[in-house]
Amino acid sequence: MFSLDIFTPDVLASLWKGTQLTLGLTLLASVFGLILGAVAALGRMSRSGVLRAVAGAYIEIFRGTPLLVQLFFLFFALPQLLPQARLSPFNTAVLGLSLFAGAYAAEIIRGSLNAVQRGQAEAARALGLRPSQTLWLVLTPQAARTAVPALGNQFIGLLKDSSLASVITVTELLLTTRGLVSVTYQPVPLYLAVGLIYFVLSNVAAQGFRALEGRLNRPYLTATRR
């Protein structure tokens, strides 16, 4: 029978704990993935053939294989090849999600940097800025306007993909809910609840990225109106 009486303080506390772990996993993977993506994007844009090849191989491997397979490999297969590489389930999930997210972030960042008009870099060089200054002071702020919407979509996708960490025994929201279902025998209200939690989290994240996008676009809109 369908019953809301199962949402006792203990059940709600378990769901909250699972939600916190899901958020922590997603935030860590997003930060590390963004760093990896930035490094890989610069590697793809490098004049060095070796760096381009390494960055390209990383991107193609992690974009071309399922995340679930990557998690299984990192958790079950890699420790057999390299025993010292054995990690806890949570750390393995962070690593796997970061590598996966970084491959997609790399292409987003590379495309956003290439979308900046070439004249901007030429003007920066004419003013005497070093390549690193041109990248961080001129190109990155403009590329961010293009990259933020796509990175926001990626964050929301990663939030939902984090549920795959349950297959390597990470007690995030989905695995927590499955445990509660096995005890209460009430799958309908519990899975509806977990779906609602993901829906709320995704929409809050979407609103946050829209606000960030609007803030980045505000100076350009003001200049246009003038």
pTM of the full predicted structure?
0.90
> What's the CATH number where 158 sits?
1.10.3720.10
When divided into structural domains, the chain yields a total of 1
DSSP state of 135: I
Q: How far apart are CA 69 and CA 135, in angstroms?
A: 36
Can you give the residue range of the structural domain that contains 49?
4-225
Show pLDDT as tens, one digit a residue, over the chain (226 residues).
567 788 999 999 999 999 999 999 999 999 999 999 999 999 999 889 999 999 999 999 999 999 999 999 999 999 999 988 899 999 999 999 999 999 999 999 999 988 887 777 778 777 777 877 887 878 888 888 889 999 999 999 999 999 999 999 999 999 999 999 999 889 999 999 999 999 999 999 999 999 999 888 877 665 555 5
| Distance from chain centroid for Cα 113 | 19
